[in-house]
Amino acid sequence: MGEALIRAVDDVTLSIHRGEFLALLGASGSGKSTLLNLMAGLDRPTSGAIFAEGRDLAALDGRELARYRSQTAGIVFQAFNLLPRMTLEENVELPLRLAEVERRERAQRVREALERVHLEKRREHRPAELSGGEQQRGAIARALVNRPAILFADEPTGNLDSATGVEILELLREINQTLGATIVLVTHERPLAEQFAGRLATMQDGRLAAA
Amino acid sequence: MKIRDLTELAARNLREAVLRNALTTLGIGVGVASLVAMLSLGVGLQRLVAQHLARTGLFNAIFVMPHSGFRRFESRPNPAPPKKSPPLDEDAMQAMARLRNVIEVYPQIRFLTEARYGGNSFPAIVGGIPLSDRSGGAFDGMEGRFFSSPTADEAILQIGFARRIAKNPASLVGKEMAVRYAEREPLAAAGGKKSSSAADASTKGASPGFSIVLRETQLKIVGIVKTDPEGFGHFGRGQLFVPLRVSEKLHATQISDLRQFLHGPTPQPTYSTVTVRVTDPSKVAAVEAAIKKMGFATFSLLDTTRNLRLFFAVFDLLLGIFGGLALVVATLGIVNTLVMAILERRREIGVLKALGAADRDVRELFFSEAGVMGFVGGIFGVALGWAIGRALTFGTDVYLHHRNLPPVDISFVPWWLAVGAILFAVAVSLAAGIYPASRAARLDPVEALRYE
């Protein structure tokens, strides 16, 4: 609405090291989700540059950006976003289909990913038949299945009770430590962030307040 | 994405929203069905007409006549003065036989006879039949059999004539019958027994004329046939058929002999009509032109068939337009279904993009869904269209049965129509999917994922 330009993320300089577990904190509307979307290749900055694995995301065309999302980034959402019509297994297989991974290899990779999140027994269930925690773990398996270098988690515990939320963050920490994946966690729960993340960055009104 | 994954996902998405997609697919199916039913009717009727005409063996035939001044086949308001043709005799026939693409040339031989059977006599027109007529289809389903050899003294009766001779025509097969006819015998010497002095003066001894002698021959009835295979473009309907060579050997006086005699007597017999068969209907025009150049009048069904083809082309087009209209309505259904699907599946599209789907993948997915709907609808439509055609045929045959007429196939689905209709349905569906698919592909993933 209107012509006024809203700068959701403005003048932010942030470096994240390989293998780091970074938590982005901030009130709602502070621009932390927008920053995550920019880093995950879902959105483009109007100006500036985002370097990931040596490439400037701002300079990539749509297809290359899609390839970045497929090969380098893994994304977990607050609302899980598993496709309701597919079984868990099929949901996890989806990124492999999009990445055109050979059929023979897919089953193996799906199994590995589900084992990692301890859901191998639920693979034939549909999302509606899973608990919130299970759905989020399934979503993590889906994000991991293409072996991304960076895992982005946008309020992954927002729809879960606190005990389950802790379980999810423990899982993310385990992934960070055993797989060496870089993790960028967006949350507004400072205590959880402090407990699990290696570094905290706080957003306020679209700017980085403290890194 | 790979094609197999695309189709799998597309089929799966379609299965999930089964009711709505089934209705859309049904719409395509009904559209295709109406198209197929209409065109199958067009094709079926065309085939029926073509079969009936091919049966007559007329499509590769040219009928040759001398210019008589009577203009039987061409009627112009101001007729040109009658042309004088060379005699249509053995020499002319051999000249025609030497033309390219001509299979055979034979004269029409028709003469009056009196057939005798069981103590009664029946007047009959005898027709000479070349053995090549056998393949024309007129003898399919005949009673008895065809002539055993070109020179066998055998007869095939036309069914109407056979019924006049015997109550049960089939019982005639294998029986002998006597046939009386008038032989044309050349006069031994010129200037003999002319009774009219006027005729003497006009002919100036150019022709010896001929005498007519009563003869009788025995023929064995071997078959009974429904139609006269040589009955078109000829004088009189044949009732009793003999092999052409046998009819030539008899030297019977032709019905046309008298007219020819008065017009200008010639030493050897001439024919009123000669049939020229060519290898293929497409060769008729060239051969016909060559024969016209020799100075004869010709007639062929070429123009008639050209008009017939044109008629069926227009007929098919009209039927196709009506059938196509239904498909257009079905197309709108596809557009609607897919656009609705985009609204409903915003989130799914956002998720797919977040997981690494490029715009192209999303576009192809929606495209595939449209294609799968078109394909399934096309198959269903062809089956339904075929069934409608069968139902129409059945209805027609019931009607024909009540009127004691033989059944016909008025609808026919050739393979090209089936395949073409399915391809057409897919193409139309894909075209209908262009707009929805590109809209889905342009969807911003952040926007799409924002709302619950």
Reduced to 3 states, what is the DSSP secondary structure of residue A207?
strand
Domain span at A152: 21-48+55-210
The answer to whether residue A74 sits within a structural domain is yes
The answer to whether residue A9 sits within a structural domain is no
The answer to whether residue A179 sits within a structural domain is yes
Residue B368 Cα, gap to closest chain A Cα (Å) = 15
Q: How many domains does chain A have?
A: 1
Q: Does the beta-carbon distance from B353 to A81 stay under 8 Å?
A: no
- The one-digit pLDDT tens for each residue of chain A (211 residues) are 456 677 778 888 888 999 999 999 988 888 888 999 999 999 989 888 999 988 899 999 989 999 999 999 999 999 999 998 899 999 999 999 999 999 889 999 999 999 999 999 998 999 999 999 999 999 999 999 999 999 999 999 989 999 999 999 999 999 999 999 999 999 989 999 999 999 999 998 888 886 6
Q: Which regions in chain B score pLDDT beneath 70?
A: 53-58, 68-84, 135-138, 188-208, 227-237, 259-260, 263-268, 302-305, 451-452
User: A98 at the B interface (CB within 8 A)?
Assistant: yes
Residue B428's closest CA among B320, B329, B315, B291? B329
**B275: which DSSP letter?**
E
Instruction: Identify residues of B whose CB sits under 8 angstroms from chain A CBs.
Output: 1-2, 5, 9, 12-13, 16, 347-348, 350-361, 445-446, 449, 452
Summarised one tens digit per residue, pLDDT across range B32-56 is 888 888 888 888 887 787 777 666 6
The answer to whether residue A186 sits within a structural domain is yes
The answer to whether residue A109 sits within a structural domain is yes
Q: Does the beta-carbon distance from B446 to A43 stay under 8 Å?
A: yes
Give the number of other CB atoms < 10 A from CB of residue B330.
Answer: 28
The answer to whether residue A146 sits within a structural domain is yes
Q: What pLDDT, on a 0 to 100 scale, did the predictor assign at position A106?
A: 93
The secondary structure of A148-199, three-state, reads CCEEEEECCCCCCCHHHHHHHHHHHHHHHHHCCCEEEEECCCHHHHHHHCCE
User: A59 at the B interface (CB within 8 A)?
Assistant: no
Q: What pLDDT, on a 0 to 100 scale, did the predictor assign at position B205?
A: 45
Q: Which residues of B touch A77 (CB under 8 A)?
A: 354, 449
CB contacts < 8 Å between A and B, how many?
Answer: 65
Residue A69 Cα, gap to closest chain B Cα (Å) = 5
Q: What pLDDT, on a 0 to 100 scale, did the predictor assign at position B9?
A: 85
What are the structure tokens assigned to B218, written together? 């025995």
Q: What is the dihedral of CA A142, A145, A149, A153, to 10 degrees?
A: 10
| Cβ pair B366, B343 in contact under 8 A | no
Q: Which residues of B touch A63 (CB under 8 A)?
A: 358-360
Spatial separation of the C-alpha atoms in residues B174 and A92, rounded to whole Å: 85
Residue A47's alpha-carbon distances to A2, A12, A38, A208, B191, in angstroms, are 21, 11, 11, 17, 123
Residue A191 Cα, gap to closest chain B Cα (Å) = 26
The answer to whether residue A4 sits within a structural domain is no
Q: Which CATH number belongs to the domain containing residue A36 in this structure?
A: 3.40.50.300
